[in-house]
Amino acid sequence: MTDSNVRAVEVADFDPLELKRKYAQERAKRIRDDGIAQYRQLTGPFAELADDPYVEPGFEREPLQDEVDVVVVGGGFGGLLSAAELRRAGVEKIRIIERGGDIGGTWYWNRYPGAACDIESYIYLPMLEEVGGMPKNKYARAPEIWEHTKKIARTFDLYRDALFQTKITDARWNDETEKRTIRTSRDDVITARYLVTSTGPLAHPKLPRIPGIESYEGHMFHTSRWDYGYTGGDNEGGLTGLADKRVAIIGTGATAIQCVPHLGAGAKELFVVQRTPSSVHVRADRPTDADWFRNQPKGWQRERMANFTTVFHGGRVEEDLVHDAWTESFFDATDIAAQGIVSPFQMSNFLKMEDVRARVDSIVDDPATAESLKPWYNFFCKRPCFHDQYLATFNRANVHLVDTDGQGVERIDETGLWVNGEHYEVDCIIFSTGFEVGTGFAAKNGFAVRGRGGVTLDEHWADGFRSLHGIHVNGFPNYFYVGGLEQAGRTANFAHMISEQAAYLGYVFEAGSGGATRTIEVTAEAEQAWVTEIVELVTKNSAAAQNQAFQQECTPGYYNNEGAPSRIAIQNGAYGGGPMAYVEVLNSWREEGGLAGLSITEAP
Ligand code: NDP
């Protein structure tokens, strides 16, 4: 049986006030004093868990000492698209520096069984028109996405100067030479006039600080470093190595939803340790209609990306082109909310989540397990998930849901884990516990970007993020921060916002980095104006303020700083006008010409 049969919920089936109370209760259970400090990095005793399992050990090369036009840190979508656009803008020497063994970023690291993208492939695989290729399905699997990133790198000749398995250790600005010196873990010393960092908002795996975690003597790994040597199989499943193993997976976010069905099929016994259930919606994947795809007009992909983002954020379009569970999120509930008990938005959200909960009942056989799998929070408090096998996996006799009722794992010992006073002995613990968010640039990336006077980004951002357009930073000439979630457009289709930022960057280079240009830097005034706009949009604009209030009521997670939204969180937050308004800002800024807010110095 799959998860695709859904029962539509009738309004009469629930009491809105009762639901509101239930949501608040479930949230309260999960609020913790330690916030993001409940997590730790994969360092010290856990450093090996961060090692790259996909490369041959022992790679060595001679250190490099040379000069390039641009160093791009990160070979994921952000770095790759920036580099591709810079190439289009005529930049010759572009050096991508990447800690992984190849291009790909998220799609290099996340190879776990079932890894796939639940944003439609036609809007998620960037530059489809430029590099060619037709996605096999409406939703692409991880290997196909990774291949596509490599194709972009080949098309724009980005492998030529790239350095892999190399970590930046320092990126220092020199006021005399007006260039940066980039040092790396392989003793390279590279001089570059320009620096782009695009190290990814969810790129560094984290572990929960569960008491006793270091005492565990069984096997363990993080989902973003999947140990196929231990489990056997590949992205398609076939985890034969687990046939005689008792396995626990901790976490039930978007990653776990995708790999649990394969673990359930492969492991002798599987314990899925849940703190907060995900909302799991219909996926309904299908093969691409080749005729339709080939007949798309020029410029279709950008248009489709914009169409999706517009619909998804409540804007009006003639036709919902993507037309899937993301875009069908809400319907107008004005009539049924008219009693004034809750807002139309809240009413439609309740209905959506009631459907999700009804879906659990219709698929999961055991009523107690079904009850535990129901999410009690608003749609979009956490990343919604889309899967047609996850829930049905709990009907297998070898799969057990370990519901911690919002409390998480109590402790870990030599042989397994403890939840609600009960011990679960397991051969292997898989951490599906997500990625660092909000820990600061240097802590996360392992190096500091330095600007004038040796000031680091973290020092500059000590009282909150500061930028123009989420990209330029005052005091940091010739530096571009790309693909960040801060002060930029934020939407479900990450590839869309990155494509827009990369195109913008290409423009800045074409317009502002002509032969004689020495420095491009945002003025202090322009930076302050953008910071003010970001904060005021949230505090004064009613839609953005509503969104902030919405987040405040949400169950904790990385979307809302683990349940503690703050003034800094607002300043570090997204552009409050919404992602399409952000795109509009970038577009009109370009159309205006003149690089407003940027100060350009040229050689005498
Ligand atoms: P998440 O941060 O979403 O999930 C981490 C999970 O670990 C949560 O369920 C969390 O529970 C749980 N957890 C943390 N600490 C403990 C503990 N002490 N005891 C028990 N459970 C614990 O990470 P993911 O890797 O799942 O996803 C990260 C993001 O990656 C997604 O939000 C999405 O943006 C992206 N992604 C996208 C996919 C796609 O299809 N496009 C697929 C996969 C990932 P709690 O919720 O209570 O904090």
Please give the pLDDT value at position 329: 65
Q: How far apart are CA 437 and CA 336, in angstroms?
A: 38
Residues 99-158: pLDDT tens digits? 999 999 999 999 999 999 999 999 999 999 999 999 999 999 999 999 999 999 999 999
Across the beta sheet with 422-425, the strand order is: 411-412, 416-419, 422-425
3-state secondary structure of 192: strand
- 3-class state of residue 512 by DSSP: helix
CB atoms within 10 A of CB 391: 24
Domain presence at residue 289: no
Same domain? 273 vs 413: yes
Asked if the structure places residue 443 within a domain, the reply is: yes
Q: Which pLDDT score, from 0 to 100, does residue 48 have?
A: 93
What does the pLDDT read at residue 187? 98
Distance (angstroms) between ligand 1 centre and the Cα of 375 equals: 14
Residue-wise pLDDT for 187-227, tens only, equals 999 999 999 999 988 889 999 999 999 999 999 999 999 99
| Helix (H) or strand (E) run with residue 472 in it | none
pLDDT of residue 443: 80
Could you tell me if 275 and 398 lie in one domain? Answer: yes
Burial class, 188, CB count within 10 angstroms (exposed 0-12 / middle 13-18 / buried 19+): buried
Q: What separation in angstroms does the CA of 187 have from each of 60, 71, 524?
A: 11, 16, 35
Task: Let me know if residue 370 belongs to a domain.
Answer: yes
For residue 273 and ligand 1, the question of a CB distance below 6 A is answered with yes
Give me the pLDDT at residue 4, please.
Answer: 44
Whose C-alpha lies nearest to ligand 1, atom 28? 434
Task: Confirm whether 142 is domain-assigned.
Answer: yes
Q: If DSSP codes are grouped into helix, strand and coil, which group holds residue 264?
A: helix
User: What six digits make up the tokens of 474?
Assistant: 């005052």
Q: How far is the CA of 227 from the centre of ligand 1 (A)?
A: 19
What distance in angstroms lies between residue 351's CA and the mean position of ligand 1's atoms? Answer: 24
User: What does the block give as tokens for 293?
Assistant: 């795809």
Å from CA of 253 to ligand 1 middle: 3
pLDDT of residue 5: 39
Which of the 8 DSSP states describes residue 314? T
pLDDT at residue 27 greater than cutoff 60: yes
Q: Has residue 381 been placed in a domain? A: yes
167 close to 261: Cβ distance less than 8 angstroms: no
Last residue of a domain, one of 408, 431, 454: 431
* Atom number, ligand 1, closest to the C-alpha of residue 116: 40
Tell me: pLDDT of 497 over 90. Answer: yes
Q: Give the residue, out of 275, 283, 377, 560, with the most ligand 1 atoms within 8 A of its beta carbon, to mutate for a pocket test.
A: 275
Residues 415 and 398 occupy one common structural domain: yes
* Ligand 1 atom with minimal separation from the 115 CA: 42
**Do residues 243 and 263 both lie within one domain?**
yes
pLDDT at 340: 64
Q: Give the structural domain span for 217.
A: 3-43+205-283+355-431
Check whether residue 247 and residue 127 sit in a common domain: no
Residues 415 and 505 placed together within one structural domain of the fold? no
Pairing of strands 428-431, 246-250: parallel
Q: How far is the CA of 431 from the centre of ligand 1 (A)?
A: 10
Tell how far the Cα of 435 is from the centroid of ligand 1, in angstroms: 8
Q: Give the per-residue pLDDT at 159.
A: 98
- Please report, for the chain, how many H helices and E strands are present, in that order: 19, 21
226 φ, ψ to 5°? -60, 130
Q: What is the dihedral of CA 226, 229, 233, 234, to 10 degrees?
A: 40
Coil vs helix vs strand at 411:
strand
The distance from CA 452 to its chain's CA centroid, rounded to whole angstroms, is 31
Bigger pLDDT: 539 or 425? 425
Which of 431, 459, 480 is where one domain is finished?
A: 431
- How high is the pLDDT of residue 556? 84
537, part of any domain: no
At 158-196, the pLDDT tens digits run 999 999 999 999 999 999 999 999 999 999 999 999 999
Q: Output 377 or 4, whichever has higher pLDDT.
A: 377
CA distance 98 to 82: 14
- Residue 1 burial by CB count (10 A; 0-12/13-18/19+): exposed, middle or buried? exposed
Top pLDDT among 338 and 238 is at 238
Note the pLDDT of residue 19.
Answer: 93
| Cβ-Cβ contacts under 8 Å for 279 (sequence gap 6 or more) | 353, 356, 375, 379, 382, 384, 385
Ligand 1 in reach of 557 Cβ (< 6 A): yes
- Shared domain check, 265 and 160: no
In a domain, 382, yes or no: yes
Reported confidence tier of residue 560, pLDDT bands at 50, 70, 90: confident
In a domain, 479, yes or no: yes
Query: Is any atom of ligand 1 closer than 6 Å to the C-beta of 309?
Result: no
For residue range 442-478, what is the model confidence (pLDDT) as tens digits? 888 889 999 999 999 999 999 999 999 999 999 999 9
The pLDDT assigned to 335 comes to: 57
Mean pLDDT score of the chain, rounded to an integer? 91
The span from the CA of 543 to the CA of 560, in Å, is 17
Alpha-carbon gap, residue 346 to 19, rounded angstroms: 11
Q: What confidence tens digit (pLDDT) does each residue in 294-327 have?
A: 999 999 999 999 999 999 888 889 999 999 888 8
Atom of ligand 1 nearest to the CA of 409: 19
pLDDT at 336: 59
**Do 89 and 127 lie in a common domain?**
yes
Residue closest via CA to ligand 1's atom 19 equals 408
DSSP state of 9: P
Q: What are phi and psi of 4, to 5 degrees?
A: -90, -5
Residues 22 and 132 in one domain: no
Domain count, the chain: 2
Q: Are residues 87 and 30 in the same domain?
A: no
Mean pLDDT over residues 82-101, rounded? 96
**Whether the CB of 200 sits within 6 Å of ligand 1:** no
Lowest mean pLDDT among 47-56, 79-88, 176-185, 334-343: 334-343
Is the domain of 265 the same as that of 389?
A: yes
Measure 222 CA to ligand 1 centroid, in angstroms: 12
pTM, rounded to two decimals = 0.93
Does residue 408 have its Cβ closer than 6 Å to ligand 1? Answer: yes
Answer yes or no: is the C-beta of 518 below 6 A from any ligand 1 atom: no
Strand ranges across the sheet with 269-274? 219-222, 428-431, 246-250, 269-274, 399-403
Give residue 32's pLDDT: 86
The residue contributing the CA closest to ligand 1 atom 18 is 408
pLDDT band, very low/low/confident/very high, at 11 (cuts 50, 70, 90): low
What is the mean predicted confidence (pLDDT) over 408-416?
A: 97
Task: Show which of 431, 451, 482 is a domain's final residue.
Answer: 431
| Mean pLDDT confidence for 18-39 | 90
251 Cβ inside 6 Å of ligand 1: yes
CATH number for the domain that contains residue 99 = 3.50.50.60
pLDDT of residue 558: 77
40's CB contacts (< 8 A; 6+ apart) are: 46, 206, 207, 208, 209
What would the pLDDT profile of 247-282 be if each residue is shown by its tens digit?
999 999 999 999 999 999 999 999 999 999 999 999
For residue 121, how far is its CA from the centre of ligand 1 (angstroms)? 22
* CA neighbours closer than 13 Å in the CB half-sphere of residue 194: 28
Percent of the chain with pLDDT over 70: 94
Dihedral sign (CA 399, 405, 408, 412): negative
Same domain, 379 and 514: no
- At 568 the pLDDT is 76
